[in-house]
Structure 1
Amino acid sequence: MTEKSWYQLNDLSQLDTPALVIYTDRVRQNITSLVDAIDDVSRLRPHVKTHKTREATQLMLEVGIRKFKCATIAEADMLAQCGAPDVLLAYQPNGVKMHRLLALIKAYPDTQFSCLVDNIDTAHELSRQAVEAGVVVPVYIDLNVGMNRTGITPDENVVTLYGELDKLEGLHVMGLHAYDGHMRHPDIAVRIQECDAAFQPVEQLRDRLVSLGFERPIIVAGGSPSFPIHARRADVECSPGTFVYWDRTYRDMLAEQPFQPAVLVVARVISLPGPTKICLDLGHKSVAAECPLEQRVTFLNAPELRAVGQSEEHLVVEAGEGHSYRVGDVLYGLPNHICPTCALYERGVTVENGNVTGEWRTVSRDRILTY
């Protein structure tokens, strides 16, 4: 008798597809592995952008994680609802987002909210609104260490901005934020070298600020690829996110890390459009589509299938001559990129020991929860 694979469900009769399936025992193990990989749990500030759920947040709180990072106001709201004590909005708020952030600060006094800034004009506006609201907003300067999307180059201009922020009413400058998600070399030795080189100016900035009489700045750095590197730095807060669910990209690229895939997309064969092709119910709306077609998903129980076409609700794959697939067959897909895949589903089906146990709602995929 063939041993059952870890991902196979015992009863598929009630599972509609496509479905996001969360293997909660693996989620717990990934969280445990995260905690075990660092010397002090207080240095962990995991990003919630991957899972976007109350349940995964609660599992992290239960193991002593108290600091979190997020990218949207809705994610910040969700974290506060869970009782997270410390929430960094890793985004520079502008316009309505400023109002919403200030509303959260007033609504959840037991949660310390902070955010990023990278220019004095935004800081002045945030200061003005914070004073009007009667609150103080902790802020981190966002550094551009190579991602080239937000932040400022870690040079003397940061020292100038730090000093200006320190003088603004309604703001309290906390430290520096350095995200290096572009450093993904599969050779950990090369990744360490690249990460250390990019981080050196950040360390020099920290020392320069201390020499000028500022309180030692907090540094929040990295994501999942650089987590094991920053985890070895004694005074850096680490903010991986994908670790909680993992995916094919990081499984294959970051072989040195202990995390394991914990979420799959389950699909069914819905048509046989030709002698060598089969069609699945896994379209653009069901698995992240930013990667090349052939890299979007790998089927664990059918790795030979090759995607040749995809539309909103359909995925056509090449199965080859003489294949044995039939309409109704179930396929277990490991997404290439799990973060945007999760955001496509309003809920994930939870599984333990092959049995469906319930669901986790992807609540903060919404842009607005209460504020």
Structure 2
Amino acid sequence: MEWYQLTNAAQVDSPAIVIYEDRIKENVSLLKTMIDDIQRLRIHVKTSKIAEVVQLIMEAGITKFKFATIAEGEMLGMVNAKDALMAYQPVGPKIVRLLELVQKYPQTAFSCVTDNTDAALAISEVFSAQGHRLPVYVDLNVGMNRTGIKPGQEALELYKYLDTLPGVVPVGLHAYDGHLHDTDMSIRKERCDAAYAPVATLAGAIVNNGFPPPDIVAGGTPTFPVHAARKGVTCSPGTFVFWDAGYAANLPEQSFKWAALVISRVISVIDGQHICSDLGHKSVAAENPQPRVQFLNAPEAVPVSQSEEHLVLKVENASLYPVGTVLYGVPKHICPTVALYEKAYVATHNAVTANWRIIARDRQIII
């Protein structure tokens, strides 16, 4: 029997997501061997969004996390995570909700990022009005051109400005280089080093201006091996915990295991070479071109069309996949796929033994 096959698959309605607990633990253990000090790890929880998965990571001795939504932050507070950085600049009502997190979960040290004076002032006003001073990181644009301020004099002035505000305190720099995912590791490292160089220069300038050395949080899963080799830099991979077909193909130097699969069934045999499964747009991340999923027990299957509830596949011999056949698929992009489900089935020793709520898929839990 293959590692992914379920002896009690008949008890799992499809489409569904199944996570393999032992493989999650193996991925966490492997990650720990790839860095000299696990205190330099700050795991991004955007991939799993599951409290029980965070607890597995904490049991491995990792205490720092990163999150993107208030719900993800609340999940971290609910499991008593020690340290949680919101890697997303809060604006509008999110500032108040972040304050409520700080107030409701005092055992968790929350912080956030900011990239401009207006947003920083708004955060400061909300927090200072309630007698709080929130640790903040300057969010740097190191080439992804999504958020952040370019490392340089303007970023230094923002850091100094933060120190004058009563409701925030500057503690570090956040540099996410998600645009770097070259398959050739030597090219990826070269580009990563070039993007990081001005960050290191900025950190030196901050120290020269009388501040303590800033905590530098850099990279995600693709550049994790590069930043892990930098002394003192905090690394924040996330996808490693489940892994997916996209990263497995593009990051061959990283040997994490697939620990989350989508389960679907053949619902119709169209003709001798075409079958239809129940894995529609609503069941697997659809932002990438096809193929969006790689079927472990039907590797020759080629997507022909996909709609909300259906996925038509071309196969060599449709008679091998009668109606009811269970298909086990590795999503190309696991992070948004997880968010499509309310719960994940948990498999151990080839059988589903529990289900865990994907609690942070919601925009709001309590706060």
Which TM-score bucket, shorter chain as reference?
over 0.9
Aligned counterpart, 1:137:
134
Q: Deviations over 1:266-317 (max 9, x none)?
A: 111001123321000000010000111x220010111111001111111011
Q: Deviations over 1:8-34 (max 9, x none)?
A: 111222111111010110000001111
SS at 2:45's partner residue?
Answer: coil
SS at 1:326's partner residue?
Answer: coil
Aligned counterpart, 2:208:
211
CA separation in 2, counterparts of 1:365 and 1:22? 16
Map 1:28-67; keep pairs closer than 5 Å: 28-67=25-64
CA separation in 2, counterparts of 1:13 and 1:191? 44
Identity of aligned residues (%): 53
Structure 2 residue 342 is the aligned partner of structure 1 residue 346: yes
Aligned counterpart, 2:221:
224
Give 1:133 shift: 1.5
CA separation in 1, counterparts of 2:245 and 2:145? 25
Q: Which runs of 5 or more residues in structure 2 are unaligned?
A: none
CA separation in 2, counterparts of 1:152 and 1:323? 57
Q: Deviations over 1:140-174 (max 9, x none)?
A: 00000111110011111001111101111010101
Matched residue type, 2:67: C
Map 1:92-241; keep pairs closer than 5 Å: 92-241=89-238
Matched residue type, 1:98: I
Matched residue type, 2:304: V
Aligned counterpart, 1:275:
272
CA separation in 2, counterparts of 1:13 and 1:170? 55
CA separation in 2, counterparts of 1:35 and 1:288? 29
Per the normalisation by structure 2, the TM-score is: 0.98
CA separation in 2, counterparts of 1:170 and 1:181? 30
Of 47, 70, 74, the residue aligned with 2:71 is 74
Structure 1 runs (4+) deviating above 6 angstroms are: none
Closer, same or farther: CA 322–310 of 1 in aligned 2, 3 Å: closer
Aligned counterpart, 2:249:
252
Q: How many residues align?
A: 367
CA separation in 2, counterparts of 1:213 and 1:90? 25
User: Is the 8 Å Cα contact of residues 267 and 280 (structure 1) preserved in structure 2?
Assistant: yes
CA separation in 1, counterparts of 2:73 and 2:318? 52
Per the normalisation by structure 1, the TM-score is: 0.97
Aligned counterpart, 2:9:
12
Give 1:321 shift: 5.5
Give 1:219 shift: 0.3
Q: Which runs of 5 or more residues in structure 1 are unaligned?
A: none
User: Is the 8 Å Cα contact of residues 106 and 135 (structure 1) preserved in structure 2?
Assistant: no
What RMSD in Å do the two structures reach over aligned CA positions? 0.9
